[in-house]
Structure 1
Amino acid sequence: MPLVMLLLALLCCAGTGTAHAGELTLREALDRASAASRGLKSASREAEIASEQVNIARSTRLPRIDLQGGYVAQAKAQAFKFGAASQETQDPRYPFFNFAVYQTLFDFGRTSANEGMARLRSKAAGYSYSANQQDLFLQVVQAYYGILTAQKLVQAARDEVTQMESHQKTAQALFDEGVVTRNDLLQAEVRVASSRQNVLSAQNEVENGWLFLNYLTGAPPDFRTQLTEEPQLPSKQDLQGNPDLSRRGEISALEALVGADEYAVKEAKTSHYPEFFAKLGVDYLSNSKVREQAITAATIGFKVNLFDGPASAARVRQAVETRSRDEERLRDLEERTRLEYAMAVNDLKVADARIKVAEKAITQGIENLRITKDRYQEHVGTATEVVDAQTLLTKTRTDYYRSVFDLQVAAARVKRATGEL
């Protein structure tokens, strides 16, 4: 019985404790974010809505079939007057129905323009979904490598605590021997406390990073696992001065919108053009006063708007201005994307150079700390020099880890600028 209780307790703890898994790669995190993001799901609905508009536009090429029916009850039947006499021409109560088939024969490209406009706007919605996905992926990369960087900062802070505690012991021993003043011991104790605070701050950064990554990937807030360091650096051939922007979702979306605007201008210009049509109809009205109660007729005709005030001209001007606006937006987006790409490439190169400098500086900082501690133990150096040497080493390590993070994020920004993330 006690064994059973123990097993149940362990199961309960496993169910309520922090969730763990073996390993989470960046690619897996991106896939999870793509599947879990409500923003992407909303964008996919926008694409589906736009695609249905294409079906609506295409439907105007097909015949329109209408059926109408009802029952009329009048207070009095309509009648003709012949002097003092009158003759009813209909029954006071009667059923009726109307069946009609309407087919547009020619409308000077109005239907084709509407269909082309809907098709290109559907494409624009699809490209916008791709752009939203790329933005999400960049956030995941920043959160993923932010956690890895914060974990390294925790380790650097812990190393500093170890070194400061070692210095505190040395200062205590020298103080007990009467070699140094109490100021050295107090300084060491304050520095240990400060280093422990740095550990807490770094740990908090890790926790916040996990909360954000779990939100992006749809994982529970308490999910934790092992992250893998996977370099995502582009090749030098990809770092060209004139990047290929054909995969950038926002640019493709605006290009599609400009094409849709062209169709909108064509459609607006046809508002005063006639529409030729054919119509087949059957009208039935129950009336015992007449011989023919069902009338079948076929019609070929046209209809045209002759005047609607300034509305038609305004719609044309509006369509032209909309097209000009989207063309300006497209040119501006292309320039901003090239700027974004150039800045990301510069940040990538600088981060790479900073890593190389920091790697050498860490080695020098370790040696500097060793020499300074030896000098202090030999009563040549001061406690302040030891603290400064440790602070410098921690800062150098922090700069290194930050540089690695900046390098990975800059690489992701390069890919984001070209739509290849």
Structure 2
Amino acid sequence: LDQSRRHLAIVEGLFKVGVVSKFDLLRTRVEVANLKPDLIQARNDLRLSRESLANLLSLSSASLELEGELSFEPLRITLEEVIDKALKERSDLKSLKLQKEMLEVALKLAGVQNKPNLALVGNYQYQNPSGGEDEWGEEWNLNLVLSIPLFDGWVNRARAAQRRSQVKQINLSLQQLEAGIDLEVKKAFWDLEASEERIYAQKKNIEQAEEALSIAEVRYKSGAITNLEVLDAQLALTRVRLGYLKALYDHNVAIAELEKAMK
């Protein structure tokens, strides 16, 4: 809007001295007026977003102070490093691996319950059974106990089979989860790379569009081009600036998605 207002001031100055037509003046004023609803809508969207954020945080919107701006930090980590970190730190993967370890212990226990069990049991006592002062004595015994299971109606065998089936199932779940994490991390990483490339491209586009508008304004003042050509240059610059902001937004979203995929 500021850019269009600056051009309007140029056109009004040229109109006063009779260099440009009233059509150019009116066309430029219409262009400025058309931008005002977009600005009003943007401000309204900002208020709505502020209220939504406050509601999400259970806070008053008046207590929120928005600071800073969309920033850009180049990527400094490789895809392999990101995947490795995700497979080490993902809480859902850690939980599933812990479940697997517990099932494997339960399977081992089920496997030994039908086998003979040999136990050494010892007992030592130092006591005064009659209550006399000089009648304290000690007693000890040592027993070797052998237990041989006979028949449990195949209950333990069925329990062991169930545990083996559960281990196989959780191994399959682990494979599926790891594959899902791999895909999720790759998508977030590639989105981040793409947004970074777009940022660099849009920066270059902005430089070129700003130069093109500057040339157009100089040529318009000298009467070499029409007002419409200047407005086209303004529109081109506005579009590339919006594209740059969109790339910045996508970049920050991709960073958040990548961090989420690694946790």
Q: Does TM, scored on the shorter chain, surpass 0.5?
A: yes
**In 2, distance between residues paired with 1:217 and 1:402?**
25
Residue number in structure 2 paired with 1:58: none
**In 1, distance between residues paired with 2:32 and 2:168?**
64
Alignment equivalent of 1:255, drawn from 74, 97, 106: 97
1:354 partnered with 2:198: yes
Alpha-carbon distance, 1:252 to partner: 0.9
Can you list the C-alpha shifts for 1:171-218, whole angstroms capped at 9, x where unaligned?
A: 445556373252x34432332122212222332343343334334444
Where is the helix percentage greater, Structure 1 or Structure 2? 2
**In 2, distance between residues paired with 1:180 and 1:323?**
83
**In 1, distance between residues paired with 2:72 and 2:217?**
37
**In 2, distance between residues paired with 1:225 and 1:241?**
33
Residue number in structure 2 paired with 1:84: none
Alignment of 1:6-405 (within 5 A): 161-172=1-12, 174=14, 177=18, 179-180=20-21, 182=23, 184-228=24-68, 235-236=76-77, 240=81, 242-244=83-85, 245-262=87-104, 321-405=165-249
**In 2, distance between residues paired with 1:212 and 1:322?**
44
Quickly say closer, same or farther: Cα 1:181–1:263, change in 2 above 3 A.
Answer: same
Amino acid of the structure 1 residue aligned with 2:231: V
Can you list the C-alpha shifts for 1:145-182, whole angstroms capped at 9, x where unaligned?
A: xxxxxxxxxxxxxxxx1222233344445556373252
Alpha-carbon distance, 1:225 to partner: 1.5
**Helix, strand or coil: the match of 2:88?**
coil
Alpha-carbon distance, 1:271 to partner: 11
Alpha-carbon distance, 1:320 to partner: 5.2
Say if 2:188 and 2:258, in contact at 8 Å, map to a contact too. Answer: yes
Amino acid of the structure 1 residue aligned with 2:7: H
Say if 1:362 and 1:396, in contact at 8 Å, map to a contact too. Answer: yes
TM-score by length of 2: 0.67
Say if 1:348 and 1:411, in contact at 8 Å, map to a contact too. Answer: yes
Say if 1:344 and 1:414, in contact at 8 Å, map to a contact too. Answer: yes
**Helix, strand or coil: the match of 2:61?**
coil
**In 2, distance between residues paired with 1:329 and 1:259?**
14
**In 2, distance between residues paired with 1:377 and 1:172?**
12
**In 1, distance between residues paired with 2:227 and 2:35?**
16
Equivalent pairs, count: 225
**Helix, strand or coil: the match of 1:222?**
helix
Say if 1:372 and 1:381, in contact at 8 Å, map to a contact too. Answer: yes
Say if 2:11 and 2:20, in contact at 8 Å, map to a contact too. Answer: no
Where is the strand percentage greater, Structure 1 or Structure 2? 1
Quickly say closer, same or farther: Cα 1:194–1:268, change in 2 above 3 A.
Answer: farther
Quickly say closer, same or farther: Cα 1:188–1:399, change in 2 above 3 A.
Answer: same
Say if 1:354 and 1:400, in contact at 8 Å, map to a contact too. Answer: yes
**Helix, strand or coil: the match of 1:343?**
helix
**In 2, distance between residues paired with 1:236 and 1:317?**
45
In structure 1, the gaps of 5 or more residues are: 1-160, 274-304
**In 2, distance between residues paired with 1:255 and 1:383?**
68
- Report sequence identity in percent: 26
1:416 partnered with 2:256: no
Amino acid of the structure 2 residue aligned with 1:247: E
Quickly say closer, same or farther: Cα 1:261–1:373, change in 2 above 3 A.
Answer: same
In structure 2, the gaps of 5 or more residues are: 116-150
Alpha-carbon distance, 1:325 to partner: 3.6
TM-score by length of 1: 0.44
